[in-house]
Amino acid sequence: MTHLPYVVAAYLLGVLIPGTFAAAAFIRMRTARLRLAAIDWRRRTR
Amino acid sequence: MVAFNPGIRWDRVVIVDATAADASRQSAPKPGRSLHRFANPGRFLRLSGAVLPWLAAAGMVLTAIGLIWGLWFAPADWQQGDAVRIMYVHVPAAWLASAGYFALALCSVLSLVWRHPLADLAAVEIGPVGAGFTALCLLTGSIWGKPMWGAWWVWDARLTSVLVLFFLYLGHIALVRAFDDPVRGYRAGAILALVGVVNLPIIKFSVDWWNTLHQPATISFTGAPTMYVGMLWPLLFAAVGYTLVFAAIVVARTRAAVMERRIRALLMARADEAAA
């Protein structure tokens, strides 16, 4: 394969940048959901 | 009574009595087909909670198919060699850089004209994701440019206008967080987003208006694509996949923001009760 380092670098960025955003978003969402469940009396009584 | 009224902002918990509730009901937009029916946080969390797993799964599968197809099964270009495979990352990132900013501008219109509370939150959450994809577009373009043009960067009209788009995203991110009152930040950010939307046609038509090093569009809505179909399909898979991933990230971030706002509201209400 020609230009292998360039292709590998581009694909790594193409996975890492969206992957980091996705992981951060899902961790933030999970943290918020757990925190809300802990303090929201409406959820606890269900 | 603590109320989340879709006709007003969620930034503060509103304590209303029965009379005030009647008054706010009269001034609030009519429910039903109005966009404001999605402003109810509970409804948004229910709907987005049902859609998000499918959106994320479909996005990841399509992106994986597109990238693997592009990396191993699509043919190399007769001029560019295997460097053409960088396009399966670069082109979707470029498309999402512009589409993300368009979504940001759309949210700004919804916020400024209809005072849609979810639009403010969505705009705040689109900004960093759009900036990330614009950075990905610029970086992969630079990685492609070095072996093809012999330079990491040239001050070409297309490249420069996308760099301006990146700075607009950064400006929006900074502006919406620069005020103690979040509503003022949302307003200022919305105005900046609408002013910056003029950059989108400049990006699109820069390759036609100026004599640029960047090649003109190979795919258009009006004409047949000028690329080999064996390269077109993986590109379409990657573009649709990345778009769904982008949407899933924004929905997840907006869900988190809605829940964080509800947490703040509950804590404030509890503190008020304790003080009284």
* Per-residue model confidence as pLDDT tens digits over B214-267: 887 777 767 776 778 889 999 999 999 999 999 999 999 999 999 999 999 899
Give the model's pLDDT for residue B213.
83
Shortest CB distance from A26 goes to which of B88, B246, B252? B252
> Is the pLDDT at A40 greater than 80, yes or no?
no
Question: Distance between CA B272 and CA B276 in Å, rounded?
Answer: 6
Closest CA to A22 of B253, B102, B120: B253
Give the model's pLDDT for residue B227.
78
Around Cβ B139, how many Cβ atoms within 10 Å?
19
Give the model's pLDDT for residue B23.
40
> Is the pLDDT at B24 greater than 60, yes or no?
no
* Average pLDDT score over chain B: 86
Residues of B with CB under 8 A from a CB of A: 56, 63, 67, 71, 76, 81-83, 85-86, 88-90, 93, 128-129, 132-133, 135-136, 139-140, 143-144, 146-147, 242, 245-246, 248-249, 252-253, 255-256, 259-260, 262-263, 266-267, 270
Determine whether the interchain pair A3/B81 forms a contact, defined as Cβ–Cβ distance below 8 Å: yes
> Is the pLDDT at B187 greater than 60, yes or no?
yes
The three-class DSSP label of residue B2 is: strand
ipTM: 0.90
Question: Distance between CA B9 and CA B20 in Å, rounded?
Answer: 15
B270 chain-A contacts, CB cut-off 8 A: 39
End-to-end CA distance of chain A, in Å?
A: 59
Give the model's pLDDT for residue B38.
63
Question: Distance between CA B242 and CA B141 in Å, rounded?
Answer: 17
Percent share of chain B, pLDDT over 90 = 64
Rounded to 5 degrees, φ, ψ at B52 are -55, -45
| Cβ-contact B166, B131 below 8 angstroms | yes
Around Cβ B97, how many Cβ atoms within 10 Å?
24
Around Cβ B94, how many Cβ atoms within 10 Å?
23
> What is the residue-wise DSSP string for A11-27?
HHHHHHHHHHHHHHHHH
A36 chain-B contacts, CB cut-off 8 A: 259, 262-263, 266
Query: Å from A3 to nearest chain B CA?
Result: 6
Shortest CB distance from A18 goes to which of B81, B242, B259? B242
A15 chain-B contacts, CB cut-off 8 A: 67
Rounded to 5 degrees, φ, ψ at B31 are -70, -175
What tens digit of pLDDT does each residue of B67-92 get? 999 999 999 888 888 999 999 999 99
Q: What is the mean pLDDT of residues B94-120?
A: 93
The three-class DSSP label of residue B156 is: coil
Shortest CB distance from B71 goes to which of A11, A18, A32? A11
Determine whether the interchain pair A14/B256 forms a contact, defined as Cβ–Cβ distance below 8 Å: no
Q: What is the mean pLDDT of residues B266-275?
A: 89
| Cβ-contact B80, A1 below 8 angstroms | no
Q: What pLDDT band is residue B15 in, cutting at 50, 70 and 90?
A: very low
Shortest CB distance from A40 goes to which of B86, B242, B266? B266
Kindly list the distances between the CA atom of residue B140 and the CA atoms of A13, A28, B111, B135, in Å, as whole numbers in the listed order.
8, 28, 33, 8
Rounded to 5 degrees, φ, ψ at B123 are -60, -45
Residue B3: in which H helix or E strand, if any? strand B2-3
> Is the pLDDT at A4 greater than 80, yes or no?
yes
Higher pLDDT, B17 or B31: B31
Around Cβ B267, how many Cβ atoms within 10 Å?
13
A20 chain-B contacts, CB cut-off 8 A: 132
Instruction: Give B81's DSSP letter.
Output: B
> Is the pLDDT at B108 greater than 70, yes or no?
yes
Q: What is the mean pLDDT of residues B7-34?
A: 44
What tens digit of pLDDT does each residue of B34-68 get? 566 666 778 888 999 999 999 999 999 999 999 99
* Average pLDDT score over chain A: 89
Shortest CB distance from A10 goes to which of B86, B242, B245? B86
Helices (H), chain B: 18-27, 41-68, 87-114, 117-149, 157-176, 182-196, 199-209, 229-275
Low-confidence winner among B16-25, B100-109, B132-141 (lowest mean pLDDT): B16-25
